[in-house]
Amino acid sequence: MSSLDDIASFDGRIAKVQGPARSGKTEALARRAAHLISDGADPASILVETTSGFAAQAFRRRLTALAGERHAQKAACVAVRTPLGICAHVLDTPAARAATDRVPRVLTAAEYGFLVEDMKTLGMPLRKLRRMLEHLYQQMEDLQPRSEWCVTGEEQAVLDHLVRTLVSRGAMVRHEAPALAADFLKSEVGATARASYDYVLCDDFQNLSRAQQTCLCLLAGAQLIVAGNPNQTITAASDHPNPRGFSQFDTVRRNVRTFILEGAFARPAITAFIDALCDQGDMDPMFKANHAHMPTRENELEAVKWNSPEDELNGLTAYLRSLSSTDGNPKESRTCVLVPDKRWAALVARLLRTRGFEVSTAGALTAIGGDPRDSARARALVAYTKLSLLANPHDLTAWRSWCGFDNHLTNSDAWANLAALADAQGVSLYEALAQMAAAAEGDAANGHADDTASRTVSAGNASGAGASTYATCAAPASDGARNEPFPRASILTQRWREGQDFIAKNAARRGFALMRAIGATDLPEFEDVSAALVGDEDAAALHRLARASVTEPTWPESERVLHVATYDALCGTEYDRVFALATVDGLIPCRDAFEVVSTKDARERTMNRERKRFANAVSKARDHLAISFFSKASLELAERSKMQVTRVRSENGERIAVVRPSSLLAEAGNAAPATTGGQSLLSERGLN
């Protein structure tokens, strides 16, 4: 058995740290970083990789506490970044930009939606296109040689169109950034960027793609330490994690020191529950904790059954309010409410606020989405796009989004013609838009002059009915239509003018006035951005906040804010209390794990993935884990939420779906918690 102090003082070249959930792997890396700082290492020479923005935030807190007041400033200078952030940083240098001919402006999920619309102009069926793109992305993240996987004419055409489209708007997709960074670091021109950090410490290495893992290995100079557990693999850092890269880390390299941590820093019943899940599916029983480092306490693990989702939401929020009110020193930030999706996050957050809680949904609701074909249903995306234009009026990704709102095809056909026009003229898309708008304004001015002359001639040379007829025949063509360089170009020029007018009107606004100008003050997607505002931020500073909240969200720093998160958001974090809501089949595990139309292998893969998501998230509870579920829901809600319905019955004229608790509870066998009725739970605290 290895100790945390052994890892903190390790001065060798390469090390691997493995252990069960809550065994102290992250703590070991934090102690190593603190030890380096106290020994005089330059903080700028240390790079720490974490899966997400939440994990990075938690690591910084650990490191600051370990470094103490004496070294707090040095600890703050250590680079703690996500894998995608690290790869983008590698690519954002003059040498890398020149070598790759790319700009590391990674598309958000909503911006990627516009890219897919533009890819559809190839004429390929959407399902086939998505499958092909997924294949291309997986090969990129697996660092497969292009000559081995891009072999068909269709694949090459899709890849060429994808790259051409991204280059034209100065962007890249998140799947290609690690591959581009790895290829650059391995090249001759990237030699100076290799080993640019003396110490590289990687947490949850199993969550990274092969390309991400390769980048981190190439960045390490004097020391590389990776920590992980294959049983905790989730798709938070990459859609294609490479757990074998961690499992085989010490077998494909020489002289690797392996540290094995044992036990779990959690209560015994919680530890036994997680261990029981390690015996299921493709989980590795070698990563069981087998014992807990903390003593037993009352009600450390419980399952709570409610009649309906409404009962669950009302009851659990009341229970949480009671717990917080009786706590002598409440720190709501040490409590996390786990939800299966955004719908549940919004519902529980609203109820918690009515009960007096401050709530952050950064772990569930930060993604900016909506339907761009109807801007009224995509208010957050419109606001983000406006902010992007104000922050950088030449941002072609933002202009593409701006020009696509309120059209059933997001004007993808017009945009494709604009790209062809720009290529033919040898100019950028921005220049093509500007020139096209200027030409349209010139046409409009000439048309107005011609129309005036026509009316003058008509008035002087005709009379009576003839004058009216002549005037009607001489009316000019519709605005901008007479000299359009391609069909529907006028739509783009109109959006261009509206965008330029908006920029001119609001470029000088700051802080809260800027938030009002873009229409973001009442949007839940911007609530944490609003909370972080000082009030004097210009558009560029506000855009950095907004983009970080989307790509690498973090929690508010206040201890009085309760956290609401989905299962993938908890990697690298820990809580005193975790309440998992709506743990019914179809929500966790998701319905794909039960679909009879899919193959048995596909269902097993889904179940294995969902089991790891669930086990990883609930293992973050140190003192109290409550797993909550309900027995029935309206059929309409059940179908919309994709619950696994066992049967349907009628109650008071309404169709009711009967659902069952998550199959993952049954998998735990005797280690699963005993079930308590929701009303009994409330009665114990005098809440009935």
Q: Per residue in 31-82, pLDDT tens?
A: 999 999 999 999 999 999 999 999 999 999 999 999 999 999 999 999 999 9
Six-digit token string for 664 = 């993952």
Q: Cβ distance 634 to 655 under 8 Å?
A: yes
pLDDT of residue 448: 52
Q: Which residue has the higher pLDDT, 444 or 80?
A: 80
Residues 628, 541, single domain; the answer is no
Q: Which of the four pLDDT bands, split at 50, 70 and 90, describes residue 223?
A: very high
Count of structural domains within the chain = 4
Residue 94 within any structural domain of the chain: no
Residues 247, 330, single domain; the answer is no
Around 469, how many Cα atoms within 13 Å sit in the side-chain half-sphere? Answer: 5
For residue 465, pLDDT over 50 is answered with no
pLDDT of residue 474: 32
Residues 132, 205, single domain; the answer is no
Q: Which of 492, 524, 551 is the last residue of a domain?
A: 551
Residues 385, 520, single domain; the answer is yes
How far is 242 from 227, CA to CA, in rounded Å?
14
Residue 98 within any structural domain of the chain: no
How far is 591 from 607, CA to CA, in rounded Å?
10
pLDDT in tens, 297-354: 998 999 999 999 999 999 999 999 999 988 877 899 999 999 999 999 999 999 999 9
How far is 176 from 60, CA to CA, in rounded Å?
28
Residues 285, 236, single domain; the answer is no
pLDDT of residue 482: 55
For residue 103, pLDDT over 50 is answered with yes
Residue 97 within any structural domain of the chain: no
pLDDT in tens, 576-627: 999 999 999 999 999 999 987 789 999 999 999 999 999 999 999 999 999 9
Six-digit token string for 201 = 């410490």
How far is 205 from 246, CA to CA, in rounded Å?
6
Q: Cβ distance 308 to 646 under 8 Å?
A: no
Q: Which residue has the higher pLDDT, 475 or 394?
A: 394
Residues 162, 187, single domain; the answer is no
Residue 596 within any structural domain of the chain: yes
**Phi, psi dihedral angles at 629 (to 5 degrees):** -150, 170
Residue corresponding to tokens 């044992």:
262
Q: Which of the four pLDDT bands, split at 50, 70 and 90, describes residue 478?
A: very low
Six-digit token string for 630 = 């309900």
The pLDDT of 6-31, averaged and rounded, is 97
Q: Is the preceding peptide bond at 553 cis, omega within 30 degrees of 0?
A: no
The DSSP result for 63-113, as a single string, is HHHHHTGGGHHHHHTSEEE-HHHHHHHHHSSHHHHHHH-----BPPHHHHH
How far is 377 from 367, CA to CA, in rounded Å?
14
Residues 400, 486, single domain; the answer is yes
Q: Strand, helix or coil at 342?
A: helix
Around 684, how many Cα atoms within 13 Å sit in the side-chain half-sphere? Answer: 9
Six-digit token string for 236 = 């938070």
* Domain containing residue 244: CATH number: 3.40.50.300
Q: Cβ distance 235 to 227 under 8 Å?
A: no
Residues 150, 67, single domain; the answer is no
Q: How far is CA 50 from the centre of its chain?
A: 14
Q: Cβ distance 227 to 218 under 8 Å?
A: no
The closest alpha carbon to 74, from 115, 53, 46, belongs to 46
Residue 101 within any structural domain of the chain: no
Q: Which of the four pLDDT bands, split at 50, 70 and 90, describes residue 470?
A: very low
pLDDT in tens, 161-201: 999 999 999 999 999 999 999 999 999 999 999 999 999 99
Residue 499 within any structural domain of the chain: yes
Q: Cβ distance 31 to 66 under 8 Å?
A: yes
pLDDT of residue 627: 98
Residue 267 within any structural domain of the chain: no
Residue 476 within any structural domain of the chain: yes
pLDDT in tens, 143-160: 998 777 777 788 889 999
Q: Identify each DSSP E strand in 566-683 by its residue range.
A: 575-580, 621-630, 632-634, 645-651, 654-659, 675-677
CA dihedral angle for residue 290, residue 208, residue 213, residue 186, rounded to 10 degrees: 170
CA angle 354, 360, 365 (to 5 degrees): 105
pLDDT in tens, 246-289: 999 999 999 999 999 999 999 999 999 999 999 999 999 999 99
How far CA 36 is from CA of 10, 33, 197, 223, 282, in Å, comes to 10, 5, 13, 11, 37
Q: How far is CA 218 from the centre of its chain?
A: 26
Q: Which of 262, 285, 301 is the last residue of a domain?
A: 262
Q: Cβ distance 228 to 18 under 8 Å?
A: yes
Within 10 A of 643 (CB to CB), how many other CB atoms are there? 25
All residues at 6 or more sequence positions from 108 whose CB lies less than 8 Å from its CB, including other chains:
368, 384, 547, 550, 551
Residues 515, 624, single domain; the answer is no
Residues 362, 383, single domain; the answer is no
Q: Identify each DSSP E strand in 215-372 by its residue range.
A: 220-228, 256-260, 301-306, 335-338, 358-363
How far is 129 from 154, CA to CA, in rounded Å?
10
Residues 290, 310, single domain; the answer is yes
Range of the structural domain that residue 201 is part of: 4-88+182-262
The pLDDT of 565-573, averaged and rounded, is 95
In this structure, which amino acid lies at residue 563?
H
Within 10 A of 27 (CB to CB), how many other CB atoms are there? 20
Residues 499, 541, single domain; the answer is yes
Q: Cβ distance 209 to 240 under 8 Å?
A: yes
How far is 257 from 202, CA to CA, in rounded Å?
15
Strand-pair category, 621-630 with 301-306:
parallel
pLDDT of residue 443: 65
The closest alpha carbon to 511, from 477, 555, 546, belongs to 546
Q: Which of 551, 585, 614 is the last residue of a domain?
A: 551
Work out the angle between the directed axes of helices 153-168 and 412-425 (0-180°, nearest 10): 80
- Burial tier of 461 (Cβ tally within 10 Å: 0-12, 13-18, 19+): exposed
